Structure 1
Amino acid sequence: MVSSEITLEAVPSVSDIEAADWDACANPRGDPASLDGLDTLLSSEATGNSCSRPVYNPFVSHAFFSAMEASGSATVRTGWGPRHLIAKVGSAVAGIVPCYLKSHSQGEYVFDRGWADAYERAGGRYYPKLQASVPFTPATGPRLLIRGGVDRDAIGTALASGLVALCGVSKASSAHVTFAREAESKFLAEHGFLQRTDQQFHWHNRGFASFDDFLATLNSRHRKAIKRERREAVANGITIHWLTGSDITEDAWDAFFAFYMETGSRKWGRPYLTRSFFSLVGESMPEDVLLVMASRNNRWIAGAINFIGSDTLFGRNWGAIEHHPFLHFEVCYYQAIDFAIKRRLKTVEAGAQGEHKIARGYLPQTTYSAHYIADPGLRRAISDYLKRERAYIADAGRELSEAGPFRKLADETP
Structure 2
Amino acid sequence: MTAMTSSASPAQPPRTPRPPLNRRLAEFGTTIFAEMSALALKTGSINLGQGFPDTDGPEEIREAAVRALRDGRGNQYPPGPGVPELRAAIVEHQRRRYGLTFDPDTEVLVTAGATEAIAAALLGLLEPGDEVVALEPYYDSYAACIAMAGGTRVPVTLRPSEETGEGVTDRRFRLDLDELRDAVTDRTRLLLINTPHNPTGTVLTRAELTAIAELAVERDLLVVTDEVYEHLVFDDAEHLPLAAFPGMRERTVTIGSAGKTFSFTGWKVGWVTGTAELVTAVRSAKQFLTYVSSGPFQYAVAEALALPDTYFEEFRAGMRAKRDLLATGLTEAGFEVFRSAGTYFITTDIRPLGESDGFAFCRSLPERAGVVAIPNAVFYDHREAGAPFVRFAFCKRTEVLTDAAERLRKAFAH
Pick the TM interval, shorter chain. under 0.3
Structure with the higher fraction of residues in strand conformation: 1
Structure with more relative contact order (C-alpha pairs < 8 Å, separation 6 or more): 2
Larger radius of gyration: 2
Give the TM-score of the pair, scaled to structure 2: 0.24
